[in-house]
Amino acid sequence: LKYLFKPQPKTQEFLNKYREKINFQKPIVGVHIRRTDKLDEEAAFHHVDEYMAEVEEYYKQLALTETINEKKVYVATDDPQVLIEIQETYPQYKVLGDTDIALTASIDRRYSESSLMAIITDIHFLSNCDFLVCTFSSQICRVAYEYMNTMYPDASARYKSLDDIYYFGGQTARIHIAVLPHTPKDPSEMELVVGDRIFVNGNHWNGYSRGTNLRTNHWALYPTFKVVPHVET
């Protein structure tokens, strides 16, 4: 992946100049906030506060081991108002980002050359951050995480997705196996019998996941701690 993403000299020059322009330095957290068409088609709305809560948690953990002189966050978004909102609501952070890049991600400009360069820029700098906060329902978020894994031996603890668990298009179905029984508290939950196989739709990050019980064909919520991932052998 790192080889495939190796920039041409002209692109590398642009990225180097942009790094100097925004003074990109570590430690820094990358935040990708997708708005516009994504909310209509595939994903739920997540308030800026949800993202920034994860950013703050990262810096609190980091402060236990080192001195932090400045808390920085690189923001990639397709909504310029997001940058303004973070700057106004969280003045204790140095916000790196560009409203011009956000504008190129608007639906009517998304397929222009400038928009392509903007996507390359955002993926590059998000993946170079120490920690990534985003939604895995977004392909940009997932690509940034995949590229981040070329920067470290293991980047599995360097991200927080506010919605989906990691996946890629066309992958084998993700299956959970019930290791504890569960009696539903209300119609939104499914019954679990030890050994049940559940086709996983996603983790809600509140103690519950959603999926389809292949024994009952019931699509509902179930306690995440009562299942384990099925590993194909």
Beta-strand runs (E) in the chain: 29-33, 71-77, 93-96, 131-134, 159-161, 175-178, 197-203, 208-213, 218-223, 227-229
Instruction: Note whether 145 and 190 are same-domain residues.
Output: no
In a domain, 168, yes or no: no
Half-sphere exposure of 184 (CA within 13 A, CB side): 11
Nearest alpha carbon to residue 130 among 167, 87, 89, 160: 160
Number of domains in the chain: 2
Instruction: Note whether 136 and 193 are same-domain residues.
Output: no
- Give the model confidence (pLDDT) of 50-91 as tens digits: 999 999 999 999 999 999 999 999 999 988 899 999 999 999
Length of the chain: 233
Instruction: Note whether 77 and 189 are same-domain residues.
Output: no
Range of the structural domain that residue 220 is part of: 175-229
Distance of CA 201 to the CA centre of its chain: 16
In a domain, 22, yes or no: yes
Last residue of a domain, one of 119, 137, 161: 161
- Give the model confidence (pLDDT) of 82-131 as tens digits: 999 999 999 999 999 988 777 665 556 666 788 889 999 999 999 999 99
Instruction: Note whether 134 and 61 are same-domain residues.
Output: yes
The pTM of this model reads 0.82
* Model confidence at 175: pLDDT above 80: yes
**Side-by-side strand order, sheet with 159-161:** 93-96, 71-77, 29-33, 131-134, 159-161
In a domain, 33, yes or no: yes
The 8-class DSSP code of residue 226 comes to G
Count of CB atoms situated within 10 Å of the CB of 211: 23
